[in-house]
Amino acid sequence: MRATWIAMIVIAAAGCSVDRGARECAGYGDCAAGEECYRGFCVEGGGIDAGVDAEVDSGPPVTCEETEVLCNTGRDGVCEQGVELACSDGTRPCESLTVQSNESCNGDDDDCNGVVDNGFPLDTEENCGMCGASCADGFDCCPARGGAPGERVCVNLTGGNDEYCGGCNMRCRIEIGERCCPGIGCINVLDSPSNCGACGRVCAAGTTCCDGECVIEDTDPEHCGGCGNECEIGQQCCRGQCDDPESARCGSCTEDCSLTGRSCCSGSCVDTQTDRNACGACGNVCGEGELCCGGDCVPDDAEASCGACGVVCGENQLCCGNRCVDENTANCGTCGTTCEPGESCCGVDGCANLANDPTNCGDCGVVCDVTTPACSNGHCCPAGRTWCDGECVNTQTDGGNCGRCGRTCLLGCTNGRCNLL
């Protein structure tokens, strides 16, 4: 155990009195710059004290030895834990192990005032709900729907989020067919001719949007003459009416369909290149989720037919829900792949945390080399090092960044913890 000489004013044994106006202290961290904590009061270090009336003794100075006894300083936050000092004048002051500092948004009470992260709003994209919980690009910080008071989450307000459609308090009624269409708002896609079944899916001329499908009411047996008017088993929809397939209505057309390049199917002239109920030939019906393109039934989310025949999504876009959407944190790499708060979308690499991903360090595609293989706070560092305030440090031994950036220890740092001795 080593002895530590503490610069203090020595109070004479005779004629000593305490000025009760002096500030009381439990450790040196309680006093202002240039002052020392002596016998429970702040005094000027090494000189005449403004708070304690005393005469300078010519005797030996007071010495203190560090003990192995942990103590509670009576202060809050990081200043609470301390170590006892055994002093030659019989006192055993409790000295804080961690130096008080300006408050940071890190989950600790750095300024020791009893309030964690005070002064930092927790409703921003940088600190959503808690310090350090940053929202990914394109996300906003909103109150958690159905969560506890004050609870907040990162949501994408522009990516077609039905729960948060364009605003934190806008929810689409999906139970009645509403979906969130970017730039528009909540739309009922069951009957919207401009957003039929999905946002941006426009029904062609001569078709009607019924239950989210663009149909031809003259020939569609489920919507014959009107949405929801379904023909009975064995009947066909001929010119907008349900009838027997052998009837005159169903057996012939009222015009020469060949003059317009169409075919006569179920009593109506149809284009077998695009008609889902006569795709390529009369009676060839495309399945659910398929389009008739060039006489072939194809998926309505195919690369060359996103929501409609011939619609090809652009670069950095995906076909999701029968519409082209930007590849971002709401649809990263594949439709519906949503990045977690704090992550960014790096294209084919998927979601990545640019703060600690060595293959996407600080930005997508930035790979840390063999000399600095670790990614710390968006910077490449040697293995075992952490990026703190402009440099890579060892938080296991750095007294100014002990265990985490900015945590300062009085007695040094070992294994990421402030030394007791």
Helix, strand or coil, per DSSP, at residue 264: strand
Contact 374, 382 (CB under 8 A): yes
Most trustworthy range by pLDDT among 62-71, 241-250, 321-330? 241-250
Does residue 313 belong to any structural domain of this protein? Answer: no
> Taking 90 as the threshold, does the pLDDT of residue 272 lie above it?
yes
Task: Return all residues near 397 (Cβ < 8 A) that are at least 6 apart.
Answer: 413, 414
pLDDT at 228: 93
Does residue 203 belong to any structural domain of this protein? Answer: no
Contact 88, 99 (CB under 8 A): no
For 146: left if phi > 0, alpha if psi spans -120 to 50, otherwise beta; the answer is: left
Q: Work out the pLDDT band at 393, boundaries 50, 70, 90.
A: very high
For 360: left if phi > 0, alpha if psi spans -120 to 50, otherwise beta; the answer is: beta
Mean pLDDT, range 193-201, rounded to an integer: 86
- Identify the domain containing residue 403 by its residue range: 384-418
Distances (CA, A) of 153 to 70, 129, 136, 143: 40, 7, 11, 6
Instruction: Answer with the one of 67, 96, 125 that is the final residue of a domain.
Output: 96
Exposure class string for 186-195: b at 16+ Cβ within 10 A, else e: bbebbebeeb
Per-residue tokens: 51: 């708070």
Helix, strand or coil, per DSSP, at residue 413: strand
Percent of the chain with pLDDT over 90: 19
Edge-to-edge order in the sheet of strand 63-72: 3-5, 63-72, 81-87, 94-96
Contact 357, 350 (CB under 8 A): no
Q: Work out the pLDDT band at 418, boundaries 50, 70, 90.
A: confident
Per-residue tokens: 150: 């004050």
pLDDT at 43: 65
Instruction: Answer with the one of 79, 96, 113 that is the final residue of a domain.
Output: 96
Does residue 48 belong to any structural domain of this protein? Answer: yes
Instruction: Answer with the one of 96, 120, 149 that is the final residue of a domain.
Output: 96
**Chain mean pLDDT for the chain:** 80
Does residue 207 belong to any structural domain of this protein? Answer: no
Does residue 61 belong to any structural domain of this protein? Answer: yes
Does residue 272 belong to any structural domain of this protein? Answer: no
Per-residue tokens: 67: 């003990």
Q: How many domains does the chain have?
A: 2
* CA atoms of 146 and 165, how far apart (whole Å): 16
> Taking 80 as the threshold, does the pLDDT of residue 334 lie above it?
yes
Element (H, E) at 215: strand 213-215
Does residue 317 belong to any structural domain of this protein? Answer: no
pLDDT at 17: 33
Q: Which residue has the higher pLDDT, 21 or 171?
A: 171
Does residue 222 belong to any structural domain of this protein? Answer: no
Q: What is the pTM of this model?
A: 0.51
- Residues recorded for the chain: 421
* CA atoms of 130 and 67, how far apart (whole Å): 38
